[in-house]
Amino acid sequence: MKKPIVLPNGLRVHVLPFSGTEAATALVLVKVGSRDERLEINGASHYIEHLMFKGTKRRPTTLDISRALDAVGAEYNAFTGKEYTGYYVTIDAKKLPLALDMLHDMIFHSKYDPKEMDRERGVIIEEINMYEDNPTMHVEDLLEETLFRGSTLGWNIAGSPKTMRNMTRDQVIAYRDAHYVPSRMVVAIAGKVDKKTLAIVEKTFGSVKAKPDPTSHAPYAPLASSLATRCSVQNKPVEQLQVALGFPSFGVADPRNAALSLLASILGGTMSSRLFISVRERKGLCYFVRAENGPYDDVGNFMIRSGLDKSRLPEAMKTILGEVEKIKRSGVTPRELKEAKDNFRGRILLRLEESSNRADWYARQELLLGKAKTPEERMKEMDAVTAAEVKKVAREVLDLSKMAVAAIGPFKDGEAFLRAAGL
């Protein structure tokens, strides 16, 4: 277990030096996302992420921020999820003080200029349109909207054109001030890091005053419904259908996630997985098919997604669900289990070669779980998973009576899709 350094204001810090690199990454994660919003400000978390790059008191414009980082060849960006927001700079390790100062300045001293805010509204509306026009991206949003209907967890991270036009500057700033508090933040610095790094973090992020934690979001509660009401469709004239099947799974801290991750890998996580071989290689029914699990605080989404030939939809759905039933009935083989564990180990070792991934590894665990396990500890947990445990979670999670369906294609509604799919 890697314990953080906790500053007096409650902010947690992970300093992660490692050799073999001349780079360093500074990552800041904040425990706020679209799940924490009210309906009238849906999209505020993502909006705030954009506005952090629009100028501070010391760096008044977007150009002032980008020019300072571009001048040293830094890579920088931000991202918003349903339960967290992140900001990072990967930079020449000699320039790490600039990265930390920049992140602190952006996060706590951005101006939120009304003209810039109005200009950015249009940018985000176009981003929403882009995702809705891209079936491979939009089908995942459509699935979670359906699977988590009745919960803020089902809301779109970017909000809607209506909420983006109508939320006020005062609402956005009040929301930011409530959630951007030190105790809800983690700073991770990885790469070629020296002893002076912590002092810089203390001078910048440590200077922020402590504030009370905001009210937590409401827990997820499933809605009882028929398959027809658990199926959503975007009617679109496409040649390749996008189909996603979702099953409610476990919260992020649930120990069964180790077995569930291996299940996802064996079922549809690699080019040698069961779904890839049966649906694509043997029958040529799709270009891609995959299975993955995405855990949130109190529930997860085990998703199977594919782009399918619309003329062979019933055969494809029968094949996919046949593999689901087979793995529930017969479990996995010793060889499959070993290869899935080796795959997990190999991917982790390759990812952690990069400072950005190493910072993310520790920061994300610290933020979401309140503790950060080392890669060795996580790999040991995976190695301990048995075939019986994988079969058990398959039966628990892959329950067709709880399955949600999302599709993008030439279908009037969910019932029309289900008929065409033979479901």
Domain ranges, ordered by start, for the chain? 5-207, 228-421
Which residues participate in catalysis according to the annotation?
Answer: 49
* DSSP H helix total and E strand total for the chain: 16, 11
pLDDT of residue 387: 98
Place of tokens 């494809």: 316
Q: 35: helix, coil or strand?
A: helix
CA distances from 237 to 1, 223, 242 (A): 51, 31, 11
Contact criterion met (CB below 8 Å) for 103 and 89: yes
Neighbour-count burial of 211, counting CB atoms closer than 10 A to its CB (0-12 exposed, 13-18 middle, 19+ buried): middle
Residue with tokens 């007096």: 8
Domain over 5-207 is classified CATH 3.90.1640.10: no
Task: For the chain of 423 residues, list the mean pLDDT of each consecutive stretch of 10.
Answer: 96 96 97 97 98 97 97 98 98 98 98 96 96 93 95 96 97 97 98 94 97 88 82 93 97 98 98 96 93 97 95 96 98 98 97 96 98 97 98 97 96 94 91
Amino acid at the residue 61: T
Cβ-proximal residues to 126 (8 Å cutoff; 6+ apart), any chain: none
Predicted structure pTM score: 0.95
CA 240 to chain centre: 25
Q: DSSP per residue over 399-419, as a string?
A: -GGG-EEEEEES-SSHHHHHH
Helical H segments across 152-227, by residue range: 161-166, 169-179, 197-204
238 Ramachandran zone, left/alpha/beta (phi>0; psi -120 to 50): beta
Check: CB of residue 157 under 8 Å from CB of residue 45: yes
Q: Which two tokens stand for residue 334?
A: 């010793």
Q: For residue 144, give the nearest of 133, 157, 131, 132 by alpha carbon.
A: 157
For 228-421, the fitting CATH number among 3.20.20.70, 3.10.450.50, 3.30.830.10, 3.40.50.920 is: 3.30.830.10
Tokens of 73: 């060849």
CA distance 266 to 261: 9
In angstroms, the CA 32 to CA 334 distance is 41
Same fold, 5-207 and 228-421: yes
Q: What is the pLDDT of residue 220?
A: 87
